Structure 1
Amino acid sequence: MRKVIFISAGPGDPDLITLKAVYHLRQSEVVLVDRLVSPEILKKYSNSKSKRKIIYVGKSSTCRKNKSLLYLTQKRINEIMIYHALQGKYVVRLKGGDVSIFSNIMDELIELKKYHISYEIIPGVTAAIGAAAYTGIPLTARGYASSVRFITLHNPNLIHKNQWIEFLETSDTLVFYMCIQKLNYIFDRLIMNKKNIYTDKLVAIVEQATTPMQKVYTSSLYNCKELIKKEKKFLSPSLIILGKTVNFHSKFKWTSDSSFFPKKNYFVS
């Protein structure tokens, strides 16, 4: 076949995957699975007659520190993907959320082009969209926010002090991805100019969005440090939504309070 199908698995709820993604997953012979993919997707959409090979290629700081856990570099992931594609296998690259948003897809596409291997990219529901829908927080709303920004702090040094001030003053809704280990860092910089803090802006930390373990914590910017101190640790993946539209959560939330669920990781580790 000499082709790789990039599939977006969505933010957690296995039913949020697209029909096209399910079709390719059922035809696949080799599936390379990221860490933030619900295991229910593989259970629910597997073909029992297929001799599918599932390879977990998740990367996380936990795996890197704990030598007993598998940690694969991006280079090694590329090698595995290329090897199976050159063998003519029906290869699926299964990534959490949407493959075009913070998924490091560029490195893999470059390798595929180098070996003249064709590919297909199937879009999906990114974490911010899933979290917004399942918490009743519209990311844009007339009179509240006309645009939304997705932000990652992979390299915090790239964000200048003036940018943090602009983050605070903008009417845009801000969504911070992959930053649960940097909560104090984020809020310290957001509140360093307290006179600019809008009282009508709230912060929502959404933990394991769209899963049975989803939890939502809301706070004013003034009190967000107290929230972190109280909760101590949030499960990965979690993201931050900051803006006026967070005020709608209490009015429009439609999922039940999941606080009775045990606090555990719902995703592939």
Structure 2
Amino acid sequence: MKKVIFISAGPGDPDLITIKAINHLKKSEVVLVDRLVSPEIVNKYLNPRRKIIYVGKYNDMHNKKEKKSFFTHTQKSINHLMVYHALKGRYVVRLKGGDVSIFSNIMDELMELKKYDISYEIIPGVTAAIGASAYTGIPLTARGYASSVRFVTLHNPNSIDKNQWNEFMETKDTLVFYMCVHKLYHIMDKLMMNKRNLYTDKLIAIVEQATTPMQKVYTSTLYNFKDMIKKEKKFLSPSLVIFGKIVNLYSYFKWNYRSNFLDKKNYFIY
């Protein structure tokens, strides 16, 4: 077929995958699977005669035990595997956590496919921010609270300068910080550069392992943030931060998301 299907697995709850994605997985012959994809998706929806290649990246592993237990790849080797199997005419699926177009290095992989004139299809899905918003009851936009939302990656903290951090404090937008579990102090230090920011009506929500049975939510003001960090010294990956006036609604609209998993025997533990 000489084609690669990019499929979004969603943020954790395996039921959030789309029907279109499932239809492609059932026909797959080779599936390249990211680290944060639920095993239930792999076990339930893939063609039983398919070849599975786990391609977690070394930089995504946050502890030595995980690095030893999960076979790791560089982006170059992932690109090579995609091209190799596609040129062999196999039904290749690239299965990524969250949504494939949000902070997922999809551009590198698309450029490699175009280099070899390999066609592709992109199946959208639920990104972590949307999943976390829904499963915490925190609407990312709401009249009187926020009319816009921004997704920000902190993979490289130095990419955001002082003026941008000041603008983050002034904006009425809801901010969602991805890939930040190990950079929480950095985020808070930047937001609190101006001491008057400590008394803002905006709140922080740290959502740990969103949409899974292990989901936890921690909320705080900027003023009390360091006290919260002392109580919860380590937040598990993946975690993201929602910051804005909208977080005030969490206490009103949070719901029992764990009821979704009562009948599940094989959910993903990060």
Distance in 1 of aligned mates of 2:197 and 2:30 = 52
SS state of the match for residue 181, structure 1?
coil
CA contact (8 A) 1:32 1:93 kept: yes
- Which of 35, 54, 59 pairs up with 1:61? 59
Q: Which residue of 1 aligns with 2:225?
A: 224
Amino acid at match of 2:49: K
Is 1:172 aligned with 2:173? Answer: yes
Please state how far the C-alpha of 1:199 moved relative to its aligned partner. Answer: 3.0
Q: Deviations over 1:122-146 (max 9, x none)?
A: 0000000000000000000111101
How far 1:45 moved relative to its partner? 1.4
Which of 50, 53, 58 aligns to 1:52? It is 50
Residue 61 of structure 1: CA displacement? 3.4
Match of 1:13 in 2: 13
**Residue aligned with 2:25, SS:** helix
- Give the secondary structure class of the aligned counterpart of 1:131: helix
Which AA in structure 1 matches 2:27?
Q
CA shift in 2, pair 1:63/1:144, >3 Å: closer
Query: RMSD of the alignment, in Å?
Result: 1.9
- Work out whether residues 201 and 243 of structure 1, in 8 Å CA contact, stay in contact via their aligned partners in 2: yes
1:153 corresponds to 2:154: yes
State the Cα deviation string for residues 131-162 of structure 1 (Å, max 9, x = none): 00000000001111010000001211111111
Q: 1:39 to 1:250 in 2, by over 3 A?
A: same
* Deviates most, 200-209 or 61-70: 61-70
Normalising by structure 1, report the TM-score.
0.92
SS where residue 55 of structure 1 aligns? strand
After superposition, where does 1:229-240 map in structure 2 within 5 Å?
A: 229-240=230-241
C-alpha contact 1:39 1:268 (8 A) present in aligned 2: no
**1:193 paired residue number:** 194
Number of residues of Structure 1 aligned to a counterpart in Structure 2: 261
* Alpha-carbon offset, residue 63 of structure 1: 4.3
Q: Equivalents in 1 of 2:148, 2:198: separation in Å?
A: 19
| Matching residue of 1:116 | 117
Residues 204 and 240, structure 1, Cα contact 8 Å, conserved in 2: yes
CA contact (8 A) 1:140 1:173 kept: yes
Provide the secondary structure at the position in 2 that maps to 1:180.
coil
Residue 31 of structure 1 aligns with which residue? Answer: 31
1:262 aligned residue: none
Whether contact under 8 Å (2:8, 2:124) holds in the other structure is yes
Deviating above 6 A after TM superposition, structure 1's stretches of 4 or more consecutive aligned residues are: none
CA distance in 2, matches of 1:198, 1:125: 34
For normalisation by structure 2, the TM-score amounts to 0.91
Q: 1:2 to 1:140 in 2, by over 3 A?
A: same
Q: Is the 8 A contact 1:14 1:41 kept in 2?
A: yes
